[in-house]
Every structure is written in C-alpha cells, then in structure tokens.
Copies of this chain bind each other. A is one copy, B any other.
Amino acid sequence: MRRVTIRDVAAEAGVSIGTASKALNGQGKLRAETRERVAEVAERLGFAPNTLAQALLAGRSFTVGLITTDSFGRFSIPVMLGVEDALGTGQVSVFMCDTRDDPERERRYVETLAARRVDGLIVSGRRIEPRPPVVAGPGIPVVYAMTQPVGEDGPAVVPDDEGGGRVAAEHLLHGGRRRIGHITGPERFLGARMRAAGFGATLAQAGLRAHGGVRFGEWSERWGREAAARLLAEEPGTDAIFCGSDQIARGVADTLRAAGRAIPGDVALVGFDNWEPMALGAQPPLTSVDMCLEEVGRVAAGLLLAAIAGEPARGTRRVPCRLVTRQSSRPGPTG
C-alpha cells in the first residue's frame, strides 16, 4: 500500500540512504558494482523518487500554472496544447486554472499556485487585448500568451493578426481578384482592427482599397449572411471577400449561394481561424488563415522556461499566420 521510498531501496540493497541516492543519480564515488545493485533493487521494488520531497529540497517544483480566462475555449485550447507539448517533454507538469473571467477567482488561483511553488505562470486569453497584469510574487516569472499585460512590456506572445490580413490579401490579389471586400467582427476587437489594417495595407500597395469599405459587425454566421447581402446590393461587382472568421465566412457563403454567385467562380472567399469543423464543412471548403496557436503556446512555454532558467524576456512576440488554401479561393475569373 505504502509507496516504496529510497529508504526501502537502501535497506534492501544494504547501503545507506545517501549512497542509494548517489547510486541512482550517478553522483559521488561508488563502486560500479554497488551502483548496479542499487539500481537493480530500485527497479525490482518499483521505486520512483517522491517529487514533492525533491521539489521541497530543490526549491523549485517543476510545475507551472496555466491560467486562462475563457474556459478553455476555442482559442486557448490550442495554446494550451502547445504549452503542454513544450513543457511535458521537459518533465514540467502543468496546473490548469480556469478563472471564468472572474478577477476574484483569478486572485485565488494565483495565490494557490504561489503556495504550490510553481516555477512560473502562463496567462492566456481569448483576445489579444491588453489585460491587467498578473503579479505572482517575487521570483515567479509570468508569460502572456494570446493576450498582453497592460502597462507592462510583456513578455507576451500573440498571433500576427496584421500579417494574417496581409497574406489573405496577397493570396486574393495573386488569384486575380481586384474588388475585394472585408467583413469582420466588432471594431472594438484589436485583432479585428489589425487584420483589417494588414489587409488594407496590402491592397493599398496594389493601388486598391477594401471594396465597399471594411464592414465591422459581430463574429457570427448571422452577421456574415447579413453583411454579405448588403455588400452584394451595394457593390455587385465584388469578386472576393476576406472574412474575419470562418463563422462569418460560412454566413457569407450561404448568402452568396442563395444569390446564385459561384464560389470561387464569381466570388472567392477567405476565412480566418482555420477552425476545421467549420472550414471543412463549408461548401466549398474554406481557404482560411491559421493563427498557429499551438505555436503561440510553444513559444510562450519556451520563453517561460528561459525565464525560469534566469533569462527573462521582454516585449511582445508575434507568431506568423499561415494561409491554408482550399477550394473557396481557387484562381478566379481572370486567372
């Protein structure tokens, strides 16, 4: 019933506790024969060192806390996987904490984590908007992923929304489109503004601008349907639409189909998020900008490990977006 300790191993092997420890960790001066005997006994007894005791002694726990505000939603999950991926192999375990956007819950979590002597903290969010910084106490580094601290200079890792807007625009221009609209989420979202900015900048280089102007609204399919209907009415010549999310793109696609416009024949479509169930289920499957959120998580975890090792970082890093091409944007009318 009781877990076997190094004391049991030592007794069974006929050595002292310290010697057993050295044998198992390759330290000190021991006869090869002794090392082997101890190792064999440990193996046979199924000994595994108590991490708690090690942590207490070493002054670090080889754990980190992962705090998310959005109930591990669609955006924080991939980030989390990236974090876990990057840390898991290094034998660092991750405490998950969902604050449900409640500052009080967050405070309690941070306290608990500090009491557990986590080596560091990753704070993740659903939006890249700056948020109040987390203070975990002296010596506990914090890295932000998919969000940024307000009033501090990082360290943070976010997707490059502006770049995402650029690649979408480049792709559509390259496909021969010239009258490209943009339907996206609420203007108060920093991400939406940055995507629109990157998109607009690239069009400007080609001497163009968003066809029909940038249309901010909601992140829903309904908004996609509605906005597309208006855009078609006002700018019937539109030959491509860059959408701020795959959900919006689906709504847009529905309206286009209902209006008898072929995708991509008449109008090419590019979404954002590359949310597979949405993008693949659409008719036709959606070209979409992937924010590489797992990579965001991995980079954040890397920064945290560096900080724990004594090399803290500052500033905000932007992870490039990747365009995933599918049928909704195959070369168009002139191509």
Contacts and interface: CB of A to CB of B under 8 A. Distances in A.
B80 A72 contact: yes
Interface in A41-73: 46, 48-53, 55-56, 61, 63, 66, 71-72
21 contacts: A3-B137, A3-B138, A46-B137, A48-B111, A50-B115, A51-B112, A52-B116, A53-B56, A56-B56, A63-B95, A66-B96, A72-B72, A72-B77, A88-B98, A91-B112, A93-B113, A93-B116, A95-B95, A220-B280, A251-B281, A277-B278
Nearest to A57: B52
A3 B94 contact: no
A281 B52 contact: no
Interface in A265-281: 277-278, 280-281
A16 interface: no
A260 to B, nearest CB: 13
Which of A3, A74, A220, A247 has its CB near the most chain B CB atoms (within 10 A)? A3
Contacts of A137: 3, 46
Minimum-distance CB pairs A-B, first 7 = A221-B281, A96-B96, A51-B116, A48-B115, A52-B56, A51-B115, A93-B95
A85 to B, nearest CB: 8
A81 interface: yes
Central interface residue in A55, A111, A222, by most chain B CB within 10 Å? A55
B49 A115 contact: yes
Contacts of A52: 52, 55-56, 61, 116-117
B51 A1 contact: no
A52 B54 CA distance: 10
A114 interface: yes
A26 interface: no
Contacts of A63: 95
Nearest to A277: B247
A250 B1 CA distance: 53
Nearest to A55: B52
A84 interface: yes
Nearest to A46: B137
A108 B61 CA distance: 18
A85 B97 CA distance: 10
B48 A247 contact: no
Given A63-B95, A93-B97, 8 more contacts: A3-B138, A52-B56, A66-B96, A72-B80, A77-B77, A80-B96, A81-B98, A221-B280
A295 interface: no
A310 interface: no
A254 interface: yes
Residue among A1, A63, A281 facing the most chain B CB atoms (10 A cut-off): A281
